[in-house]
Amino acid sequence: MLPTYARYPLTLVKGEGSWLWDDAGNRYLDFMSGIAVTNLGHAPARIKEALLQQLDQLWHVSNLFHIPNQADAAKLLTDNSCGDAVFFCNSGAEANEAAIKLARRYQQLVQNNGRYEIITFEQSFHGRTLATLTATGQAKVKEGFAPLPEGFKYIAYNDIAALETAVSDKTAAIMLELVQAEGGIHPVDQTYIQQVADLCQREGILLIVDEIQTGIGRTGKLFAYEHFGIEPDIFTLAKGLGSGFPVGAMVAKEKLREGFGAGSHGSTFGGTPIATAVVKATLETIVGDGLSDRAAAQGEYLMSQLREKLSGASFVKEVRGLGLLVGIECTGPVADVITEAQKRGLLVITAGPNVVRLLPNLLVTNEEIDEAVAILAELLSAR
Ligand SMILES: *Cc1c(COP(=O)(O)O)cnc(C)c1O
Question: pLDDT tens digits for the chain (383 residues)?
Answer: 999 999 999 999 999 999 999 999 999 999 999 999 999 999 999 999 999 999 999 999 999 999 999 999 999 999 999 999 999 999 999 999 999 999 999 999 999 999 999 999 999 999 999 999 999 999 999 999 999 999 999 999 999 999 999 999 999 999 999 999 999 999 999 999 999 999 999 999 999 999 999 999 999 999 999 999 999 999 999 999 999 999 999 999 999 999 999 999 999 999 999 999 999 999 999 999 999 999 999 999 999 999 999 999 999 999 999 999 999 999 999 999 999 999 999 999 999 999 999 999 999 999 999 999 999 999 999 98
Residue having the nearest C-alpha atom to atom 8 of ligand 1: 92
How crowded is residue 5: how many other Cβ atoms within 10 Å of its Cβ?
Answer: 7
297 CB-contact burial (10 Å; exposed 0-12 / middle 13-18 / buried 19+): middle
Asked, as a colleague might, if the bond just before 333 is cis with ω within 30 of 0, I would say no
Measured CA to CA, the distance from residue 365 to residue 192 in angstroms comes to 34
Going from the Cα of 55 to the center of ligand 1, the distance in angstroms, rounded, reads: 27
Identify which of 17, 14, 72 has the alpha carbon closest to the alpha carbon of residue 278. 72
Going from the Cα of 144 to the center of ligand 1, the distance in angstroms, rounded, reads: 20
**At 362, which amino acid appears?**
L
Which of 182, 208, 241 has most ligand 1 atoms within 8 Å of CB, for mutation? 182
Q: Which domains are assigned to the chain?
A: 12-30+290-381 (3.90.1150.10), 45-288 (3.40.640.10)
Pocket of ligand 1 (CB under 6 A): 91-93, 96, 125-127, 177, 181-182, 210, 212-213, 238-239
Q: Which ranges of the chain does DSSP label H, i.e. alpha helix?
A: 33-36, 45-57, 68-79, 92-105, 130-135, 160-166, 190-203, 273-288, 291-309, 335-343, 366-381
- Whole-model pTM? 0.98
Going from the Cα of 127 to the center of ligand 1, the distance in angstroms, rounded, reads: 5
Going from the Cα of 213 to the center of ligand 1, the distance in angstroms, rounded, reads: 7
DSSP code string of 305-333 = HHHHHTTT-TTEEEEEEETTEEEEEESS-
Query: φ, ψ for residue 344 (rounded to 5)?
Result: -95, 10
* Contact predicate 283/106, CB 8 Å: no
Residue having the nearest C-alpha atom to atom 5 of ligand 1: 92
Residue having the nearest C-alpha atom to atom 11 of ligand 1: 126
- Ligand 1 atom index nearest CA of 93: 9
Residue 136 is given by DSSP the state S
Helix, strand, or coil (residue 117): strand
- Ligand 1 atom index nearest CA of 246: 7
- Ligand 1 atom index nearest CA of 132: 10
DSSP code string of 73-104 = HHHHHHHTSS--EEEEESSHHHHHHHHHHHHH
Helix, strand, or coil (residue 142): coil
Measured CA to CA, the distance from residue 208 to residue 106 in angstroms comes to 13
3-state helix, strand, coil in the chain (%, to 5): 40, 20, 40
